[in-house]
Amino acid sequence: MIDLKEQAGVAMNVRGQLSDPIADPKVTLGALAFANELGRLLWRMKYGQDVKRAGLRRATFLLAKQLRDGRRFDRAKFTGVTRAAKQVAALSGRRVERETADVVQRLAQRVIVEWVADQCACCEGRGVVGRGEEVAEHETVCPSCAGARQVCVDEYRIPFAARRDGTGPIVYREIERCYRCAGLGRVKVKADRERRGRQICPTCQGMGRAAFDHAARAIALGVPIGQYRAHWEHQFGGVLALLDAADGAANDTMQRRLQR
């Protein structure tokens, strides 16, 4: 039996309803309707694979409002306008226009994107890899050029021409880079295949989540990487925890409704 999140994902996918045996999709979606709006949007994007611009924008506004309600991000302070721009506007006597999307909204949107697409590409979110055949390789001297990196592709003697020292006719050789090793002098040889067992994913260290791209985070926030490291990197963990809490609240609400 599939778990509740997979059941909701199939219920939100019309094509999946025709192939996977699940409970009544209307009952599942009806139970999801009792969850809070942010939880419903997150479930639709992550488990129902229904990522639309309108849904992402609405979830961004809801999360940004929740962050500001906690008084950690004051709208008067986090406007997305730099201090230099404020100083220039003050000297010129003009008012500073607020940017369309301030830094708190950009933070919320980036965290939602990371939370929805959080699976490790190497292990597909399982945290383990293996149960396959591993092919070991080692380098050896190229057998074609014997490590010389070049091979003779043509050789002929020039008629009626002899060396000055009288040792024999002049021989012309056409030399090219070795085609087998591409001029490296060494080639990789596959060894015997070995059966390997299940191992912890080396990319995500068994967590099943994709690694954080700090440079992409700084670009999404519109701040230098140094400023991101100093003031914003630790904020991402707290906001991701808020989304996990919203996910858990939606799951608890659905369980209570489906048990009635």
Co-location of 215 and 191 in the same domain: no
Co-location of 247 and 140 in the same domain: no
Backbone torsions φ then ψ of 170, nearest 5 degrees = -80, 130
pLDDT score recorded for residue 216: 92
Based on the structure, what is the number of domains in the chain? 2
pLDDT score recorded for residue 62: 93
Q: Which domain holds residue 233?
A: 4-129+206-258
Backbone torsions φ then ψ of 131, nearest 5 degrees = 55, 45
Give, in order, the Cα–Cα distances in Å from 84 to each of 74, 90, 98, 136.
19, 10, 14, 57
Co-location of 20 and 98 in the same domain: yes
Question: Would you say residue 94 lies in a domain?
Answer: yes
Domain end (from 196, 224, 248): 196
User: What crossing angle do the helices spanning 53-69 and 37-46 adopt, rounded to 10°?
Assistant: 140
110, burial (CB in 10 Å: exposed 0-12, middle 13-18, buried 19+): buried
Q: How does the average pLDDT of the chain come out, rounded?
A: 78
The rounded distance, in Å, linking the Cα atoms of 255 and 250 is: 9
- The pair of three-digit structure tokens given for residue 36, joined into one six-digit string: 């809070």
Question: Would you say residue 215 lies in a domain?
Answer: yes
Cα pseudo-dihedral 48, 49, 52, 57, rounded to 10: 70
Among candidate residues 49, 9, 45, the one with its CA nearest the CA of residue 29: 9
Co-location of 119 and 161 in the same domain: no
Question: Would you say residue 182 lies in a domain?
Answer: yes
- The pair of three-digit structure tokens given for residue 223, joined into one six-digit string: 């701040």
Question: Would you say residue 23 lies in a domain?
Answer: yes
> 72-76, 246-250, 255-259: lowest mean pLDDT where?
72-76
Amino acid letter for position 49: Q
DSSP state of 167: S
Co-location of 124 and 34 in the same domain: yes
Co-location of 86 and 163 in the same domain: no
Domain end (from 196, 214, 237): 196
Co-location of 190 and 224 in the same domain: no
DSSP state of 166: S
Co-location of 111 and 215 in the same domain: yes
- The pair of three-digit structure tokens given for residue 241, joined into one six-digit string: 């925890």
Task: Give me the mean pLDDT over the 148-176 stretch.
Answer: 75
Cα pseudo-dihedral 138, 142, 147, 148, rounded to 10: -150
Question: For residue 207, is pLDDT > 80?
Answer: yes
Co-location of 220 and 189 in the same domain: no
Q: Kindly report, residue by residue over 85-113, the tens digit of the pLDDT.
A: 667 766 766 655 554 447 888 999 999 99
Question: Would you say residue 201 lies in a domain?
Answer: no
State what percent of residues in the chain have pLDDT above 70.
73
Q: Kindly report, residue by residue over 106-160, the tens digit of the pLDDT.
A: 999 999 999 998 888 888 788 888 765 555 677 889 888 888 888 888 877 776 6
Co-location of 165 and 189 in the same domain: yes
Is there a contact between 221 and 228 (Cβ–Cβ < 8 Å)? yes
254 or 240, which is more confident: 240
Question: Would you say residue 159 lies in a domain?
Answer: yes
Question: Would you say residue 33 lies in a domain?
Answer: yes
pLDDT score recorded for residue 82: 61
CB proximity list for 104: less than 8 A, separation 6 or greater: 64, 67, 68, 73, 75, 78
The rounded distance, in Å, linking the Cα atoms of 213 and 233 is: 11
The rounded distance, in Å, linking the Cα atoms of 89 and 206 is: 51
Task: Give me the mean pLDDT over the 240-259 stretch.
Answer: 87
Co-location of 24 and 117 in the same domain: yes
Co-location of 184 and 221 in the same domain: no
